[in-house]
Amino acid sequence: MPETKILYNPGHTACGGCGQAIAARLVIEAAGENTIIVNNTGCLEVFTTKYPESAWGVPFIHSLFENAGAVASGVESALKFLGKKEGTNVIAQAGDGGTADIGLQALSGMWERGHDILSVCYDNEAYMNTGIQRSGLTPFDSNTTTSPTGKESFGNPKMKKPVPEIARAHGIPYVATASVAFVRDLQNKVKKAISIKGPKYIQIHVPCPLGWRHEGAQTVTVARAAIETGLYPIFEYVNGELAGVQKIKPKPVEEYLKLQGRFKHLLKAPEQIKKIQEIADNNIKKYGLKLEA
Amino acid sequence: MKKFIEGSYAVAEAVKLCRPGVVSAYPITPQTHIVEGLAQFVADGELKAEFVNVESEHSAASAVLGAVATGVRAFTSSSSQGLLLMTEVIFNIAGMRLPLVLACANRAVSAPINIWNDQQDVMTIRDSGWILLFAENIQEVIDLHIQAYRISEDHSIMLPVMVNLDGYILTHGLEVADMPSQEQVDKFLPPYKPLYKLDTSDPMTLGCLAMPEHYMEARVAIQKTQEAALDFIPKVAGEFKKVFGRESGGLVEAYKIEDAKQVIVAMGSIVGTIKETVDELRAQGKKVGVLKLITYRPFPKQAILNALKNVPEIAVVDKSISLGSNSPLYTDLTSAFIGQDKVSKISGFVLGLGGRDITKDSIKQVFDKLSGKQVDCEFIDVKKELLEEEYAGN
Ligand SMILES: Cc1ncc(C[n+]2csc(CCOP(=O)(O)OP(=O)(O)O)c2C)c(N)n1
Ligand SMILES: [Mg+2]
């Protein structure tokens, strides 16, 4: 057997410190070479497949922005027809916009029909490929180009859409969140997911230095702070039951917010910080995140 | 074997004979019987295929895209709003050079919502790179589906093919037609041999981003293939005749035009009505005929010019219109004559929108008007009194 095939080549055109670029490599390396990837339109597809080059060492298809769920359903059905489904993983992956908004219908259909496919959402919390517009997964009070701050605005007025809950409501056997800051946890989850038959969903928090406005070298620090403040809970549902969480010693949310330009306007708005602290507190309570001494 | 069969079930049977491995579709009138028929074949074990019950036409088209990209022959079908919802994927399938066959049960487009026949739906995707075939009757519906896979999957083509059949008139009409045997179809249509596919033993990337330095060539390549298909489609029809023993398919079919002074150019089931009218008028001594387009894309310009070169008066009838301009086939046809030494008088007529009945009288009106002043876009059988109601300004 050849030792290590390169499944995801360097030399793609992502920005320095792109969380999604790192996470995508971690995902495919965990899934292994017997994997077919179906990718929605978005930064990842753009920076890995500029013709005539491709970063992908596994079969990869990109069709449109919202149809990875449906294309993957066709790929999986074709593999079944060919008798090749056993031993081949199918991953449908997309950004947060391609998952939570425009691609949700196709994903819902895929989950409901029970296809043996892992869907991965690279959650960089906005439409980055088109220039940092808000999506359904943009966090509360985030400054984006379509939820700008202004005299009457603190940024995005809505909370993150609970996509993991929506996935879970489909009765699928595996739903998890992960972060590019916790490599082993992320890769274990991918391995566990593909070992389970049926539809799986993993949502990975991936900082975007350009969109979140932090240094490229800070990607992991920022991602870790999201978890440590309780703003990005890391959990795992197996067959609908909460099977594990990443425990934390909660830090105040400012520790996360102050690292990023998209939240800069909040540092002089204690009322808003209080609201965001409430979001974190709710997460901590809901998922039992607090590490008891 | 001859059978008395509904058009939709004829599609289902013909497609079954072509052995697709994945079928995916979403219901819309008047396409439903086609996919119901296929679902039943799968349920009965008569067709070994994966039937993917998707949640929309966008996903139906996407699922078959994924299946073909994985190297498996696939089928889908839609109509009207469903085809419009698929539009984005329709362009994508052609651009990705994936062979596929889609049956379009032609229906009017909303608003007003209307489930009856015209051909406005297919006209919305005529620029997509798909090969577009039109059936006149149920026999042709069967034959064109079988030929469609041969055309689409040939390595010199690798483009999707849409077989158009008029909603209700053909989808729900019953006719006696010859349903080929599995043996014949297997002889004519070999298993799908993909040129490229998603395969873990030979990984490739499909659906790349093309920058301005590459995009245009990818589009020009489709145009070149469309041109090549003008030679290939008649070749496939020739081979079809060898196996099945009948003339079917090809680019155009001329009916009584050798000595004709007036010819109507048309596509689809309306051609049957025109042929009957032509017979009646010829019995009265009128020199009339009809030129049927079986292939609309690629546009068979030379075949049309050859057929019509000695015809002084040509009427184009469309069951669709480019609102604000003229009807699509009329525009195509008139442009085909540009630069010719002898240009016939060509008039454009629109009729039968949203299921408005097309009778022999409607066709006679077209021939009558063709003798008069040249017109670009004249509507046949329009109720003047209703028009006055419609416009608040009147
Ligand atoms: C139907 C359609 N609408 C809009 C677009 C434009 N578009 C392409 S990528 C993109 C944003 C992608 O955002 P996301 O899914 O979060 O991925 P990211 O680029 O942030 O990784 C948009 C809006 C498109 N390609 N297709
Ligand atoms: Mg995004």
Sheet holding A235-238: strands in order across? A241-245, A235-238, A174-179, A200-205, A118-123, A89-95, A35-39, A60-62, B205-206
CA pair distance B232, B154, nearest whole angstrom:
9
DSSP secondary structure letters along chain A: --S---SB-S---PPTT-HHHHHHHHHHHHH-SSEEEEE-SSHHHHHH-BTT---BSS-EEE--SS-HHHHHHHHHHHHHHHT--TT-EEEEEEEHIIIIITTHHHHHHHHHHT-S-EEEEEE-SSBTTTTSB--TTPPTT---SSS-EETTEES--SPPP-HHHHHHHTT-SEEEEEETT-HHHHHHHHHHHHHSSS-EEEEEE---HHHHT--GGGHHHHHHHHHHTTSS--EEEETTEEEEE--B-PPPTHHHHTT-GGGGGGGG-HHHHHHHHHHHHHHHHHHT-B---
> What chain A residue is nearest to B76 in terms of C-alpha separation?
A74
CA pair distance B260, B389, nearest whole angstrom:
41
CB atoms within 10 A of CB B114: 16
CA pair distance B272, B265, nearest whole angstrom:
12
- Per-residue burial over B67-99, b if 16 or more Cβ lie within 10 Å, else e, is bbbbbbbbbbbbbbbbbbbbbbbbbbbbbbbbb
Which of B234, B275, B228, B229 lies closest to B256 in space, CA to CA? B275
**A14 found inside a domain:** no
Average confidence (pLDDT) over B43-69: 98
Atom of ligand 1 nearest to the CA of A208: 20
Q: Within chain A, which residues score under 70 in pLDDT?
A: 1-4
CA pair distance A250, B362, nearest whole angstrom:
79
Express each pLDDT in B263-275 by its tens digit: 999 999 999 999 9
Given CB atoms, is A74 within the 8 Å cutoff of chain B? yes
Place of tokens 């249509």: B189
Contacts of B317 (CB under 8 A, 6+ apart): B264, B265, B266, B270, B274, B329, B349, B350, B351, B366, B380
Is residue A186 in contact with ligand 1, taking CB distance under 6 Å? Answer: no
Cβ-defined contact of A51 to B210 (cutoff 8 Å) = yes
Given CB atoms, is A2 within the 8 Å cutoff of chain B? no
Q: What is the CA radius of gyration of chain A?
A: 18
Query: Where does the pLDDT of residue B391 fall: very low under 50, low under 70, confident under 90, or very high at 90 and above?
Result: low
A248 to chain B, minimum CA–CA distance in Å? 40
CA pair distance B71, B62, nearest whole angstrom:
14
Mutational pocket test of ligand 1: of A12, A41, A96, A99, the residue with most ligand atoms within 8 Å of the beta carbon: A41
**A240 found inside a domain:** yes
Pairing relationship of beta strands A235-238 and A174-179 according to DSSP bridges: antiparallel
Task: Give A220 Cα–ligand 2 centroid separation in angstroms.
Answer: 17
Asked whether residue B379 carries a pLDDT value surpassing 80, the answer given is yes
Interface of B with A (CB under 8 A): 21-22, 24, 48-50, 52-56, 58-60, 62-72, 74, 88-89, 92, 96, 198-200, 203-211, 214
Give the pLDDT confidence score for residue B105 in this predicted structure. 98
B1 to chain A, minimum CA–CA distance in Å? 29
Atom of ligand 1 nearest to the CA of A127: 13
**A8 found inside a domain:** no
Cβ-defined contact of A49 to B74 (cutoff 8 Å) = no
Cβ-defined contact of A71 to B50 (cutoff 8 Å) = no
> What chain B residue is nearest to A105 in terms of C-alpha separation?
B55
**Count of structural domains within chain A:** 1
Contact yes or no for A93/A178 (Cβ under 8 A)? no
CB atoms within 10 A of CB B378: 20
Atom of ligand 1 nearest to the CA of A41: 9
Could you give the percent of chain B with pLDDT greater than 70? 99
Which of A20, A67, A12, A80 lies closest to A39 in space, CA to CA? A67
**A171 found inside a domain:** yes
User: Please, what is the average pLDDT of chain B?
Assistant: 97
Cβ-defined contact of B92 to A70 (cutoff 8 Å) = no
- What is the residue range of A154's domain? 19-287
Place of tokens 């549902």: A237
Is residue A65 in contact with ligand 1, taking CB distance under 6 Å? Answer: yes
Which residues are A35's β-sheet partners? A89
pTM as predicted: 0.97
CA pair distance A237, A120, nearest whole angstrom:
15
Residue B202 gets which letter from DSSP? S
Is residue A201 in contact with ligand 1, taking CB distance under 6 Å? Answer: no
**A90 found inside a domain:** yes
A99 to chain B, minimum CA–CA distance in Å? 15
Task: Give A136 Cα–ligand 2 centroid separation in angstroms.
Answer: 10
Question: Alpha-carbon dihedral of residues A37, B52, B173, B86, nearest 10 degrees?
Answer: -40
At B132, which helix (H) or strand (E)? strand B131-134
Average confidence (pLDDT) over B38-55: 98
Amino acid, single-letter form, for residue B244: F
> How many residues does the structure list for chain A?
293
| Cis? peptide before A52, omega within 30° of 0 | yes
Task: Give A15 Cα–ligand 2 centroid separation in angstroms.
Answer: 14
Asked whether residue B393 carries a pLDDT value surpassing 80, the answer given is no
**A5 found inside a domain:** no
Give the ipTM: 0.96
Give the pLDDT confidence score for residue A293 in this predicted structure. 73
- Using a 10 angstrom Cβ sphere, with 0-12 exposed, 13-18 middle and 19 or more buried, the burial of residue B118 is buried
**A1 found inside a domain:** no
CB atoms within 10 A of CB B101: 32
Question: Which ligand has the shortest distance to the CA of A97?
Answer: 1
Mutational pocket test of ligand 1: of A49, A129, A146, A180, the residue with most ligand atoms within 8 Å of the beta carbon: A129
Is residue A129 in contact with ligand 1, taking CB distance under 6 Å? Answer: yes
Mutation site, A64, A90, A110, interface B, largest B CB count within 10 A = A64
CA pair distance A83, B346, nearest whole angstrom:
56
Average confidence (pLDDT) over B110-122: 98
B392 to chain A, minimum CA–CA distance in Å? 39
**Domains within chain B, CATH numbers bracketed:** 2-244 (3.40.50.970), 252-391 (3.40.50.920)
CA pair distance A69, A117, nearest whole angstrom:
9
Is residue A67 in contact with ligand 1, taking CB distance under 6 Å? Answer: no
Which of A169, A168, A164, A160 lies closest to A226 in space, CA to CA? A160
Given CB atoms, is A116 within the 8 Å cutoff of chain B? no
Cβ-defined contact of B92 to A109 (cutoff 8 Å) = no
**A10 found inside a domain:** no
Atom of ligand 1 nearest to the CA of A135: 16
Residue B232 gets which letter from DSSP? H
Mutational pocket test of ligand 1: of A12, A39, A125, A127, the residue with most ligand atoms within 8 Å of the beta carbon: A127
Contacts of A192 (CB under 8 A, 6+ apart): A174
CA B61 to chain centre: 17
Which of A183, A228, A224, A180 lies closest to A204 in space, CA to CA? A180
> What chain A residue is nearest to B58 in terms of C-alpha separation?
A67
CA dist A43 to A208, A220, B93, Å?
A: 11, 19, 22
Contact yes or no for B51/B57 (Cβ under 8 A)? no
Average confidence (pLDDT) over B308-323: 97
Cβ-defined contact of B22 to A77 (cutoff 8 Å) = yes
Task: Give B36 Cα–ligand 2 centroid separation in angstroms.
Answer: 39
> What chain B residue is nearest to A68 in terms of C-alpha separation?
B62
Contact yes or no for A81/B72 (Cβ under 8 A)? yes
Query: Where does the pLDDT of residue B392 fall: very low under 50, low under 70, confident under 90, or very high at 90 and above?
Result: low
Asked whether residue B394 carries a pLDDT value surpassing 80, the answer given is no
> Which of left, alpha, beta for A206 (phi over 0: left; psi -120 to 50: alpha)?
beta
Given CB atoms, is A195 within the 8 Å cutoff of chain B? no
Cβ-defined contact of B21 to A81 (cutoff 8 Å) = yes
CA pair distance B185, B192, nearest whole angstrom:
13
Is residue A44 in contact with ligand 1, taking CB distance under 6 Å? Answer: yes
Which of B113, B54, B122, B120 lies closest to B87 in space, CA to CA? B122
> What chain B residue is nearest to A57 in terms of C-alpha separation?
B203
Query: Where does the pLDDT of residue B390 fall: very low under 50, low under 70, confident under 90, or very high at 90 and above?
Result: low
